[in-house]
Amino acid sequence: MQNFTASDEKFIHTNVLARQHVRRSTDVSRKDFACIICMSAVIMAAFFMFLWVRIYSLEIGYRISDDHSAHEELVQENKKLKVERAALKSSSRLETIAINQLGMTVPKKTQVVSVPW
């Protein structure tokens, strides 16, 4: 039987207790490990969700940009066509075509009958 001094006993006691405490702590960590994994998975899922939303909004942004450009072009095209139509319907042009190409003339008073409504 080995004799330990008081300080040795204290040292052994402290270390044994500490190891027991560590072992106990390690046991707790293992229990929570699954929980941590789950938490991590949720966080990762949220991260990927955020990433997906970001990419999707970017894609929508591109579509809006394209549609906006197309809309602007169509509006301008529409305006150009309206201006062209107005130019084609100008009174001087129509009169020239009516007289020179179609051989039309302004009707005389005797050729006009006013029909009362």
Partner 1 sequence: MVKMKSRNELSRNISFIAMGFMVLFSIATLRAYFLQVLKSGELTELIQSQYRTSVELMPHRGTVYDRNGAELAASIEVESLYAHPGLIRDTRAAAKLLAPILDLPLHAVYRDLTSSKPFVWVQRKVTPTQAEQIRALKIEGLGFLKESQRFYPQKEIAAQVLGFVGVDSQGLEGIERQYDSIIKGKSRKLFADRDAKGRHVFVEGLQPSDQSRQGNDLLLSLDKNIQYIAEKELQAAVTLSQAKSGTAIVMDPWTGEVLASAVCPLFNPNQRSETDPDAWRNRAITDIYEPGSTFKTFSIASAIEEGTVKPTDMFFCENGAYHIASHVIHDHGSYGWLDVANIIKHSSNIGASKISRQLGKEQLYQYIRRFGFTAETGISLPAEQSGFMPSLKNCSEHTQGAISFGQSITVTPLQMVTAYSSIANGGMLMQPQIVKRIVDSTGAVVKQNTPVMKRRVISEKTAGIMRDMLKQVVAPGGTGTKAAVEGYVVAGKTGTSQKIDQGGYSHSKVMASFAGFVPADAPRLAIIVLVDEPQRMKFGGEIAAPAFSRMANAILNYLHVPPDAAPAQDPGLLKEIRTEPVKLAKLDEA
Shortest Cβ 7–partner 1 spacing (Å): 10
- What string marks each residue from 26 to 65 as x (binds partner 1 by CB under 8 A) or -? -------------------------------xx-xxx-xx
Instruction: Give the integer Cα–Cα distance in Å for 41 and 48.
Output: 10
Query: How many residues of this chain bind partner 1 (CB under 8 A)?
Result: 31
- Residues 64/58, Cβ–Cβ less than 8 Å: no
Does residue 96 bind partner 1 (CB under 8 A)?
Answer: no
Using CB under 8 A, list all residues that contact partner 1. 57-58, 60-62, 64-65, 68, 76, 79-80, 82-84, 86-87, 89-92, 95, 106-107, 109-116
